[in-house]
Structures are given as structure tokens and as C-alpha cells.
Amino acid sequence: PLLQWQEKECEPFGLPWFSELLLKDEECERLSKVRDQLGQELEELTASLFQEAHKMVREANVKQANAEKQLKEALGKIDVLQAEVQALKTLVLSSPTSPVGELPSSVGGGKTPFRKGHSRNKSTSSAILGTQPDPSATQPIVRECKEVDSQLFSEFKAWKEEPTLDRSCCFLDRVYREDIYPCLTFSKSELGSAILEAVEQNTLSVEPVGFQPLPVVKASAVECGGPKKCALSGQTKTCKHRIKFGDSSNYYYVSPYCRYRITAVCNFFTYIRYIHQGLVKQQDAEQMFWEVMQLRREMSFAKLGYYKDQL
């Protein structure tokens, strides 16, 4: 055959050229398989790395979302905690051991403080000079007085014997009618009712606007207001705070006046909750009654338009 002849012809030159080609072809085929196997392994490794990277990114996003949610909830409780601290300060300052209670007696005691140096009789000097006496010298000293209303005090003592947060009792029914309802009556009546319900359930959060980015809310702009529009009054006001209900993602911007009306009601509920939970133990019934009257006075001032703005 021709192949055997060609092999015999190539024998003087070493390895037959046909066998060498076969070996090279086998080597190429083997290297091709190795290349395909390495390419497949590389592709699988790349896909695995991408999946792992996506998984890590997804877990990081979940952790970040949870951290942001916890941060918002913590910041949302700051204002409520500040109100509770203020109520506790009021309890401490109004206790019998506080030196603040001694101040009014020194003012209204009628004693004239001793002054060093020469003082001239104003009436004598006025007669000599032919002038009218100083009006400030004849003006009476006005001091703030208070007297316990027997009906209000009896209603409070009856409530204190069996404290409850049910608004149908005589004491709370009067406070609701005279202070709470007028204080939380706004142009947006539905939102005002929701605020009262959240205050009763202690689920209302109030937080400053400046420390939070603008949220993405589902409610309309008219409902939620904005940094320049109050959601409760509907008026164009600079809103420094915003409120939300529980774990809801909807925020409502409120003006300083509306915020003060809300916090005045929150302070009242904070104090009566302390009484209901038995946390107020160092005061007698009359002291506790005057603390309640002070909180009612703040609500009365707030509903009449007086408020304190935080700078």
C-alpha cells in the first residue's frame, strides 16, 4: 500500500511523519478538552462569585434598612422622652423638699428688704418740688393666688382612689370636654382624631425635621403637608417637626403652634399615666391635683393660641 511505502521512504529521516502528525493531533485534541474544561470551570466560578456578591449586597441592604428603621424609631421617641423628663422635673420641683416652694412666701410676706445707703422720702420730695407722686409707688403688689375648687378636687380624689384611663369617668370626661377636645380640634378633623387616639395609646412619635431626610410617603402632599405647610391647619407655616403614628411610614408636618398643642396634651397623659401606674408616691392628693391643674392650664393656653417655640 501507499501508506507503507511512505513510511518506508521516511524511515531514514527518523520518526515517520504520519505518526508524528497523529501524535500532534491527539495532543491538540487533549489540549482542546483541557481548554474547554477550564473554560467551563471558569464560567461556573464566575457565576458562583456573582451569586455570592449579589447575596452579600442583598444582606447588606437588609441590614442597612433595619438599622435605618431602628434609628428612625429611636429618634421618634426623643420628643416623648423629653416630655416625660419634663414631667419628672415638675414632680421633683413641686415636692415639699424643693426650695422653689419657698419663693412665693418671701414675695408676699410684706417685709421690706434692707437697703444700704441713703433713701429719700418720695412724698416729701414731691411736695417740695411741686410734682405728682410716682405712680409706681402707689401701685399695689399683685401676686398669683390659687384656691382649690371643691368640685374639681372631689372629682380628682374619686378618680385617684381608683385611677383609670377610661374617658367616661367624671374627672377625665370634664378634662376631655374642657381641654383635650378643644386643644386637638384642627381644620383637618380626621387627622386630629387620629392624633388623639395615638396619644391615648401612646403610639404617637414627634421628631425634628432638620435631623431627618425627606421621607417618601404614600399620602398626598395636602394631607402630609411639608416643611412649609402644616398638615393640621393647612396654612403655610414653617414646620420644624413632623409626627407619625406607630410604625407607619407616613409623616405629617406640623407647625410650632400645632406641635405645642399636641405636646401639651401628651404631657397631661404622661402624668396621669404615672399616677395610674403608681409611680407618683411622694405627693399627697392636693399636690397631685395642682400638678394636674398646671397641665390643664398649659392646654388652655395652647388652645387659645399661646405656645412656646423651640429655637
Lowest-confidence region among 22-31, 90-99, 113-122, 142-151: 113-122
Mean pLDDT of the chain: 78
- pLDDT reading at 173 higher than 90: yes
With contact defined as beta carbons under 8 Å apart, do 309 and 282 qualify? no
CA dist., res. 297 & res. 275, Å (int): 19
Each residue's pLDDT tens digit, 247-299 = 888 889 999 999 999 999 999 999 999 999 988 877 788 999 999 999 999 99
Order the strands of the 241-245 sheet from edge to edge.
204-208, 241-245, 252-254
Q: Which residue do the cell numbers 408636618 mark?
A: 253
What is the number of other CB atoms lying within 10 angstroms of the CB of residue 86?
13
Give phi and psi for 101, each to the nearest 5.
Answer: -65, -15
218 band by pLDDT with thresholds 50, 70 and 90? very low
At 100 the pLDDT is 40
Closest CA to 195 of 236, 240, 250: 250
Q: What is the pLDDT of residue 134?
A: 57
pLDDT of residue 177: 95
Q: Regarding predicted confidence, which is higher, 284 or 129?
A: 284
Better pLDDT: 117 or 158 = 158
Burial label, 259 (beta-carbon count in 10 A; 0-12, 13-18, 19+): buried
* Greater pLDDT, 185 or 73: 185
Contacting residues for 213 by C-beta, under 8 A, at least 6 apart: none
**Considering only CA atoms, which of 260, 263, 267, 262 is closest in space to residue 309?**
260
pLDDT score, position 311: 58
Q: What is the per-residue pLDDT across 62-121, written as a single tens digit (0 to 9) for each? A: 998 888 888 888 877 787 787 788 777 777 666 554 444 443 443 344 444 444 444 444
* pLDDT reported for residue 153: 93
pTM, entire model: 0.55
The full 3-state SS of the chain, as one line of letters, equals CHHHHHHHHHHHHCCCHHHHHHHHHHHHHHHHHHHHHHHHHHHHHHHHHHHHHHHHHHHHHHHHHHHHHHHHHHHHCHHHHHHHHHHHHHHHHCCCCCHHHHHHHHHHCCCCCCCCCCCCCHHHHHHHHCCCCCHHHHCCCCCCCCCCCHHHHHHHHHHHHCCCCCCCCHHHHHHHHHHHHHHCCCCCHHHHHHHHHHHHHCCEEEEECCCCCCCCCCCCHHHHCECCECCCCCCCCCCCEEEEECCCCCCEEECHHHHHHHHHHHHHHHHHHHHHCCCCCCCCHHHHHHHHHHHHHHHHHHHCCCCCCCC
Q: What is the pLDDT of residue 90?
A: 74
Residue 217: predicted pLDDT: 45
For 3-21, what is each residue's pLDDT tens digit? 454 555 555 445 566 677 8
pLDDT on residue 20: 78
Residue type at 64?
Q
Pick the residue with more confidence: 216 or 256? Answer: 256
Q: Which of 233, 229, 226, 222 is nearest to 195 (CA)?
A: 233
Higher-scoring residue by pLDDT: 1, 236:
236
Residue 3 has a pLDDT of 47
Of the two residues 162 and 216, the one the predictor is more confident about is 162
- Residue 228 has a pLDDT of 85
| 249 or 169, greater pLDDT | 169
Confidence band for 245, pLDDT divided at 50, 70 and 90: very high
Q: What are the Cα distances from residue 254, in Å, to 76, 231, 265?
A: 14, 6, 15
User: Given a cut of 80, is residue 32 above it in pLDDT?
Assistant: yes
